[in-house]
Structures are given as C-alpha cells and as structure tokens.
C-alpha cells in the first residue's frame, strides 16, 4: 500500500483524523466481539502506526472491550473509528470511516468461525442504487441524501455549517 495520507472521521463530523503513512494488514474481522462493536456482521480494519495517526477534530470516546483492547468511537453519533491494542505500536482504523473506503481493499479475513454462512450468496441477491430505492411507504430514499446531516467525505474547517447546528 502507498504511503499517501488517509483522512476520515465519524458520521456527524465531530471526530476527524489523518494518517500520514501506510495502512497495512487490511482485513475483515468476523469475530463475535467485532460484530457487536460494529453492530454489523463484520468489521473492516487496517493497521496504522500510532505515530502516523492524529486527530484533527474532536476526541475519541473509548470502550475497553478487553484487558488489552480499546475501541475508539464518536461519543456524539456512535461511529466506530479505531481498534487499539494498547501495547502495540499500531492501531487499527475502521475502513468504512475513511473518506475513501474503496482505497483500501481487505487482504485477509479473521474470526471466520463467526462468519455468516450465507455471505457467499450475497452477489445473487437483487440490488438497487439508493436513487432507485423506496422505503416500504413508497418514499424515495434519495430524500435521505437531500436532507442528511452526515459529514462530507473530506475535511472541513467547521462542521456543521452555519444554520445546521
């Protein structure tokens, strides 16, 4: 992986970070602890050297999920952001929190004992783009995009913008 800078943050924009160095060991973890922490079926992560990672806005809230691991998240919106083995020189950043999550492709899977048995069939399911979808009452999901409060996928000097506080 390149040594480019990576930026990212939480959904609401209260916490932003920058990594000035490579992201390595990009992986998906299916373990039950990561499932619970993500509120999802897996957690995509990659290693960043702690010396390369810095917060550019806000403060991480921390949950000690085990004796040696702290999970950093935004206290305002709950977005999971980091997995930190406190004695290691690196921490893991949650790949979905990157401004460009497609820039880092997982190379390995861990915790496969908890992997959902039906994952292999996901590509056979029908799919729709958000702009084409409706909720069960017929409201276009594109309305969400037009009215969302999500931070954009780039750094901003101030967030939220004036008038949206």
Number of domains in the chain: 1
Residue 124 lies in a domain: no
Domain CATH for 51: 2.170.150.70
Tell me which residue range forms the domain holding 100: 5-117
Residue 93 lies in a domain: yes
Average pLDDT over every residue of 129-158: 76
Residue 123 lies in a domain: no
Q: What is the pLDDT of residues 84-106, one digit of tens each?
A: 999 999 999 999 999 999 999 99
Average pLDDT over every residue of 62-90: 95
Residue 135 lies in a domain: no
Residue 150 lies in a domain: no
Residue 130 lies in a domain: no
The CB-based long-range contact list for 81-88 (8 Å cut-off, 24+ gap) reads 81/8, 81/9, 81/10, 81/15, 81/17, 82/53, 83/34, 83/37, 83/43, 83/45, 84/50, 88/50
pLDDT, averaged across the chain: 90
> Considering the entire predicted model, what is its pTM?
0.85
pLDDT for position 113: 96
Average pLDDT over every residue of 39-45: 96
pLDDT surpassing 70 at residue 165: no
pLDDT for position 136: 72
Q: Percentage of the chain with pLDDT > 70?
A: 94
Residue 108 lies in a domain: yes
Residue 133 lies in a domain: no
pLDDT for position 1: 46
pLDDT surpassing 50 at residue 46: yes
Which of 18-32, 58-72, 135-149 bottoms out in mean pLDDT, i.e. has the lowest?
A: 135-149
C-alpha to C-alpha distance for 98 and 21, rounded to whole angstroms: 14
Per the listing, tokens 């991480």 go with 60
pLDDT classification of 3: cutoffs 50, 70, 90: low
């Amino acid at each position: 992986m390149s040594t480019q800078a990576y930026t990212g943050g939480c959904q609401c924009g209260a916490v932003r970070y920058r990594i000035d160095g490579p992201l390595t060991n990009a992986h998906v973890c299916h373990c039950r602890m990561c499932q619970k922490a993500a509120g999802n079926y897996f957690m995509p992560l990659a290693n960043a050297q702690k010396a390369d990672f810095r917060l550019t806005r806000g403060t991480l809230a921390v949950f000690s999920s085990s004796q040696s691991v702290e999970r950093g998240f935004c206290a305002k919106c709950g977005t999971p952001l980091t997995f930190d083995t406190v004695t290691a020189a690196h921490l893991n950043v949650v790949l979905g929190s990157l401004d460009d999550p497609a820039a880092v492709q997982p190379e390995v899977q861990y915790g496969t004992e908890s992997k959902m048995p039906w994952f292999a069939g996901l590509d056979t399911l029908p799919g729709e783009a958000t702009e084409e979808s409706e909720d069960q009452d017929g409201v276009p999901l594109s309305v969400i995009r037009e009215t969302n409060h999500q931070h954009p996928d780039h750094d901003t000097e101030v967030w939220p913008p004036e008038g949206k506080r």
